[in-house]
């Protein structure tokens, strides 16, 4: 079994779910007393959030790159960034280590394609919805990602940072979130990406018929498949552009 390295703490509310998802999957696959080999290198989210707010992505990337280097030095076989938004600095983190960094959007894309869908809605922080890094990664797999209007993005961003990241699950906010999903579904979304790892905290309060793609669970379970040798990193890579010969 390979060792999974997690860069967590963004927020710790969702990082603990990663640990649960990973170990439940290992138990499901191996049974008995088996549990995952996991290392968690957790950041202070207040520092990372400040970098985000100040548009200091290079500094944020270096902070996570250092966490990845520490995991590699501790003999982790792979690294997961346990936050959708921080995949903005994915290339910086991957270039800092020699072990693979499993990209969350690649894992989510694979799950979407397995359901034969190609148009989904992306819900998360305003950084994830507004900046192109996540949507472009999905587009590499042939998936179009819709996002809500700016006012809705701001509302959801506030709910994430002022409630969910603090462990507050507000029933009224859950209703607002369900309304966002229904609006996007009516506009043609075939499924919904929970593009913030904290959004899964709403799931039990929602009544949904739309396909839901929980990025945290998908990411965590993909890591288990890799750790147990049931998948290869190439399985999550986006299709390469065919080479034309003359």
pLDDT of amino acid 239 = 56
CATH number of 105-215: 3.40.50.1860
User: Which pTM value belongs to this model?
Assistant: 0.91
133 in Cβ contact with 88 (< 8 Å): yes
Its sign, for the CA torsion 26, 20, 171, 50, is negative
Q: Rounded to an integer, what distance in angstroms lies between the CA atom of residue 48 and that of residue 42?
A: 11
Q: Rounded to an integer, what distance in angstroms lies between the CA atom of residue 197 and that of residue 216?
A: 5
With 90 as the cut, is the pLDDT of residue 245 above it? no
Q: Rounded to an integer, what distance in angstroms lies between the CA atom of residue 49 and that of residue 114?
A: 34
Q: pLDDT tens digit string along 58-96?
A: 999 999 999 999 999 999 999 999 999 999 999 999 999
Percentage of the chain modeled with pLDDT above 70: 96
With 60 as the cut, is the pLDDT of residue 240 above it? no
Residue tagged 């080479």 (tokens):
243
User: Is there a common fold for 4-103+217-236 and 105-215?
Assistant: yes
Is-cis flag, bond preceding 221, omega within 30? no
Residue tagged 């905290």 (tokens):
201
Q: What is the mean pLDDT of residues 215-241?
A: 86
Q: Please report, for the chain, the start and end positions of each structural domain, with discontinuous segments joined by +.
A: 4-103+217-236, 105-215
Q: pLDDT tens digit string along 162-215?
A: 999 999 999 999 999 999 999 999 999 999 999 998 998 898 777 778 899 999
Q: Which segments of 99-238 are extended strands (E)?
A: 119-123, 144-146, 191-194, 211-214
Q: Rounded to an integer, what distance in angstroms lies between the CA atom of residue 101 and that of residue 95?
A: 9
Q: Any idea of the CA torsion for 124, 92, 5, 108, to the nearest 10 degrees?
A: 40
| Phi and psi angles of residue 20, each rounded to the nearest 5 degrees, phi first | -65, -50
Q: What is the mean pLDDT of residues 210-227?
A: 96
The residue among 147, 141, 111, 142 whose CA lies nearest residue 129 is 147
With 60 as the cut, is the pLDDT of residue 242 above it? no
With 70 as the cut, is the pLDDT of residue 222 above it? yes
Query: Helix (H, G, I), strand (E, B), or coil: what is residue 91?
Result: helix
CATH number of 4-103+217-236: 3.40.50.1860
């Amino acid at each position: 079994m390979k060792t999974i390295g997690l860069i967590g703490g963004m927020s710790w509310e969702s990082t603990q779910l990663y640990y649960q998802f990973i170990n439940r999957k290992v138990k499901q696959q191996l049974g008995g007393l088996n549990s995952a080999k996991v290392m968690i290198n957790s950041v202070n989210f207040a520092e990372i959030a400040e970098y985000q707010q100040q548009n200091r992505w290079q500094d944020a990337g270096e902070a996570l790159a250092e966490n990845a280097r520490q995991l590699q030095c501790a003999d982790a076989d792979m690294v997961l960034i346990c936050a959708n938004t921080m995949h903005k600095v994915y290339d910086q983190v991957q270039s800092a280590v020699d072990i693979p960094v499993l990209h969350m959007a690649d894992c989510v894309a694979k799950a979407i394609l397995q359901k034969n869908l190609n148009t989904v809605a992306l819900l998360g922080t305003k950084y994830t919805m507004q900046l192109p890094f996540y949507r472009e990664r999905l587009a590499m797999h042939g998936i179009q990602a819709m996002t809500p209007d700016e006012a809705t993005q701001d509302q959801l961003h506030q709910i994430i940072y002022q409630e969910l990241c603090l462990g507050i699950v507000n029933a009224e906010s859950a209703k607002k979130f369900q309304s966002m999903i229904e609006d996007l579904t009516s506009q043609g979304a075939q499924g919904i990406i929970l593009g913030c790892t904290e959004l899964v905290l709403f799931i039990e309060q929602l009544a949904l018929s739309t396909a839901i793609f929980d990025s945290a669970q998908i990411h965590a379970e993909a890591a288990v498949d890799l750790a147990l040798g049931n998948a290869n990193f190439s399985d999550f890579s986006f299709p390469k552009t065919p080479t034309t010969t003359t």
